[in-house]
Structure 1
Amino acid sequence: MSASLRSRGNVFAALALERAAERRDDAEWLAALRADARARYVVLNPDGRGLARADRGGLRMLEEAERRAYWPEAPVAFLGADDTASYFAVAATAVDADAAGATLQGRWMDLRAAGLGLPAFDAGLFAYARALLFWQTRVRYCGACGHATTLVSAGHKALCTNPDCRLEHFPRTDPAIIVIVGWRDACLLGRQPGWPEGRWSTLAGFVEPGESLEDAVRREVFEEAGVRVEESDYHSSQPWPFPASLMLGFSARAADPAIQVGPELAEARWFEVDDIVRGLADRSLVLPPPLSVSHRLIEHWLRETSGLELATLMHDEPWLKPKAP
């Protein structure tokens, strides 16, 4: 399977949308899209939750008349279009979000739940809207001169209002590598401090300035687990707007199995196939859910190493424990 096909299987990545970046400054064209009956608005409240249908069958997207009725003054950003609709994002700040959601027969849903529960297109659209609106809240002032900015290009650019500066700010994405490292018939997993006992995942970290993705893989694995990587191959990618990352998945091979745990991890160890099978069977092992590309990396390694399918072994033990009331 190609990397592009693997990426399409990752949560938030299945978004077949024409973003029409070249037309974001065409005010007449945008106005015509919003006046069209096919315009749809994805609504997010201030804490980043999106408005979904009460039956959780998809996003509860608003028509233009509904947007004007509930959030007439809220900023609107163009997301893109397909053959059925044009999509916009709305930051719901003008009225009480809970009351409006109930009136619209919707419910507010967080992005992690949406990634596992909504159709792939809706989950991807939600992730896109959340990332864009989050960036807008972080670029209200120019980082060069401190003056206020104004949003232009349908919400995809912030322009400094200082006539002596006029710096243009664009949405940022923070690249991060996430990697499954193999040694013979074992894979390397780690546990962060504070994680519940039995919870393990692949290693990950942000790419630093002046660093290739492969260099980041080598550095992060050595910093976190003291393991030296000799080869790595790209697996797939995943939008990860928590708040603004792009996860770049890799499979790698260790030069030797020596482990020296660094300060970022509580523990790291090699898992053979039998360790994973037994741990999942007796619930002593909790692996990341399908929400994360980490799950796909472990799935890929297990399939390539043993021919087993992770989906047939997983249990329903939650990766994230419910919050205490």
Structure 2
Amino acid sequence: MSAFDSFPLGSPAFVSHILDRAAHLRSDDEKLFALENHRDARAYVVYRDSLVVKQEAEGVRALLSIDEALKFGANPGTIFLGLRDGAAVFGMGISAAAVENLLTRNDVAVTELRGMAMQGAVPPNQLSAIAMAKSLVSWHQRHGFCATCGTRTAMSQGGWKRDCPNCKAEHFPRTDPVVIMLVTHGDKCLLGRQKQFPAGMWSCLAGFVEVAETIEDAVRREIFEESGIRCTDVSYYMTQPWPYPSSLMIGCSARALNEDIVVDRTELEDARWFSRPDALLMLKREHPDGLAGPHPFAIAHHLLGRWLQTASD
């Protein structure tokens, strides 16, 4: 099975969830301690945008035993992600110094998550749990002090909250909503390029939802700001958790009211209209000019694929 086959239409990365979140256990410290110390407990160890994985004959293994994680140098504080077949799964962080010590080993690797997922090295049904671990580990690393009084906070609720011992404020992890949309005009679709994209790659436009803004307004605003295109008929397709560091991609489509593009060069390198035949060849990586669409790992691919599929039905 290729990496492309791992993410069939409607199933981008991070959406297939195999864990029972078992939120009722988060406040039961005694039960969580027992689960963590059970021989069946497992953990994902996160370092920045990478995972610590075990190198085995059949490939990499991301789900480590607690003993393995601790021996590799993971931080002892665990985040309870949920249960899989009754066994607890945790998220753990690891320091830069510990990672440095692992780089000389042949049986362990510290590998960038996005690359592994796009190559199909990690089973797709594990990616949602890994996204949870990555987002929560990152949140704890960035929110160690109370935003109200500045006091050092403490992890609680199995890692789903931080409490301030001074002012008693409670801090919870947040998810940032992002709209990502495919804009069409008849038999053409609007795609953009950012400077950091690989050569020849084009994708859907996207942007953060602002304070007190609806999803529909965010779609119309972002498209106009980045491309000068006015839109109507905004409709929702699906969402994708995106752990960079913790966003929710809200996939939408919209119909353009005009065709003249005015690119905001601070946001995009370029934007242009593509025909259905061109878009299909781009998704298949068969375009004669070397142009490519987004990888099936990302929701943008599925927005584009859905539009093409609808046209062929």
TM-score range normalised by the length of the shorter chain:
0.7 to 0.9
Which residue pairs with 2:272 in the alignment?
269
Q: State the Cα deviation string for residues 179-235 of structure 1 (Å, max 9, x = none).
A: 001111110111224656532111000000101111111111111111111111111
Task: Tell me the distance in 1 between the aligned counterparts of 2:208 and 2:269.
Answer: 19
Task: Tell me the distance in 1 between the aligned counterparts of 2:307 and 2:10.
Answer: 18
Which residue pairs with 2:153 in the alignment?
149
Q: Structure 2: any 5+ residue segments left out of the alignment?
A: 1-6
Task: Tell me the distance in 1 between the aligned counterparts of 2:195 and 2:65.
Answer: 46
Task: Tell me the distance in 1 between the aligned counterparts of 2:8 and 2:211.
Answer: 27
Shift of 1:66: 3.1
Compared CA separation, residues 297 and 17, structure 1 to 2 (3 A): same
Task: Tell me the distance in 2 between the aligned counterparts of 1:306 and 1:166.
Answer: 58
Task: Tell me the distance in 1 between the aligned counterparts of 2:250 and 2:261.
Answer: 24
Shift of 1:156: 1.0
Compared CA separation, residues 200 and 95, structure 1 to 2 (3 A): closer
Identity %: 38
Q: Is the 1:201–1:288 contact (alpha carbons within 8 Å) kept by the matching residues of 2?
A: yes
Q: Is the 1:152–1:159 contact (alpha carbons within 8 Å) kept by the matching residues of 2?
A: yes
Q: State the Cα deviation string for residues 235-285 of structure 1 (Å, max 9, x = none).
A: 111111111211111111112323222242232221111333566431431
Task: Tell me the distance in 1 between the aligned counterparts of 2:199 and 2:73.
Answer: 45
Task: Tell me the distance in 2 between the aligned counterparts of 1:268 and 1:286.
Answer: 14
Report 1:35-74 matches (<5 A). 35-45=37-47, 47-55=48-56, 57=59, 59-71=61-73, 74=76
Compared CA separation, residues 200 and 67, structure 1 to 2 (3 A): closer
Q: State the Cα deviation string for residues 86-139 of structure 1 (Å, max 9, x = none).
A: 101111228632544776823222110232221012222222111110000111
Which residue pairs with 1:312 in the alignment?
none
Which residue pairs with 1:318 in the alignment?
none
* Structure of higher RCO (CA pairs closer than 8 Å, 6+ residues apart): 2
Aligned length: 300
Task: Tell me the distance in 1 between the aligned counterparts of 2:76 and 2:10.
Answer: 32
Shift of 1:168: 0.7
SS in 2 for 1:41: strand
Shift of 1:7: 9.0
Compared CA separation, residues 194 and 134, structure 1 to 2 (3 A): closer
Which residue pairs with 1:110 in the alignment?
112
Bigger Cα displacement from structure 2, 293-302 vs 189-198:
189-198
SS in 2 for 1:294: helix
Instruction: Give the CA RMSD over aligned residues.
Output: 2.5
Task: Tell me the distance in 2 between the aligned counterparts of 1:290 and 1:276.
Answer: 14
Report 1:107-186 matches (<5 A). 107-116=109-118, 117=120, 118-162=122-166, 165-186=167-188
Report 1:1-325 matches (<5 A). 9-45=11-47, 47-55=48-56, 57=59, 59-71=61-73, 74-83=76-85, 85-93=87-95, 96-100=98-102, 105-116=107-118, 117=120, 118-162=122-166, 165-193=167-195, 195=197, 198-263=200-265, 264-277=267-280, 280-306=286-312
Query: TM-score, normalized by length of structure 1?
Result: 0.84
Q: Is the 1:234–1:249 contact (alpha carbons within 8 Å) kept by the matching residues of 2?
A: yes
Task: Tell me the distance in 2 between the aligned counterparts of 1:94 and 1:190.
Answer: 36
